[in-house]
Amino acid sequence: MHARRARRNRREPWRSRRYAATTSARSFAPCATPWCYGDVVETVTGAGTEIDVLVLPKVEDASHVQFLGHLLSGIERDLGLTRPIGLELLIESPRGMTNLREISRASSRTEVIAFAPGDYPAALGVAQLGIGTVDARYPGHQWHWAMSELANHARAVGAQAIDGPTADFNDEAGYRTSAIRAKLLGFDGKWCIHPNQIPWANETFAPTAAEIETAERIVEAYEKAADDGVGATRSATAARFFVARLPAGGGT
């Protein structure tokens, strides 16, 4: 009874409100719980046209993703939904992390693979209360391997890699530090759990005006070299060499 009431309460905002032109995502109970099936069926049946992505927590095995994919296919068919609902997969445990190769390839619905910086340390037995932070006693980036592994598997299947939240929404420096570490590992973004954090995320992951200008100059230098028939060139704005494209006939 309580589960059904909670589902109705979670479903109602999707049906009664209209949101801005952003991706709308909805989380539900993990696949290994008795509530997952009911959560998905009732949520999608009640508000499927308003949902872009379902967030699947605690993914530990490819079968979790496959189950949800097949379930969604049946619901979408019954409801006549023409736009497939995507998946965001949360990796929150060592089992999920070590099964990432299979998990990431389990469904074409997967749009995002996300790292959970709160539950993952807990699953490892690390006593760490600061969610989204690095213990200062650790000599380096505490979650480097896990996040790098996740980013590579996400990129390999064309999905976005997203870092999880930083719990202290008043800690701007901490959030920005966490976000830039994620960006430098190949992540596309980071969760926000408070409006404070939205500009911090956008400013970290969006290219700066200087970066855009540099990229445009590099492209211009490349295209000029190609037009001039030069095999390689060096951009004045970056210490790099660029090999121009070969002629259509395959000459050198």
Average confidence (pLDDT) over 78-91: 95
Per-residue pLDDT tens digits for 107-121:
999 999 999 999 999
The one-character DSSP state at 87 is: E
pTM of the model: 0.84
Domains of the chain: 2-206 (3.20.20.60), 210-243 (no CATH)
Average pLDDT score over the chain: 87
Per-residue pLDDT tens digits for 131-174:
888 888 999 899 999 999 999 999 999 999 999 999 999 999 99
CB 61 within 8 A of CB 90: no
Query: Is residue 220 predicted with pLDDT exceeding 90?
Result: no
Average confidence (pLDDT) over 232-241: 60
Q: What is the pLDDT of residue 67?
A: 97
CB 163 within 8 A of CB 179: yes
Q: What is the pLDDT of residue 164?
A: 96
Partner residues linked to 205 by β-bridges: none
How is residue 68 written in tokens?
A: 């949800």
How is residue 64 written in tokens?
A: 């979790």
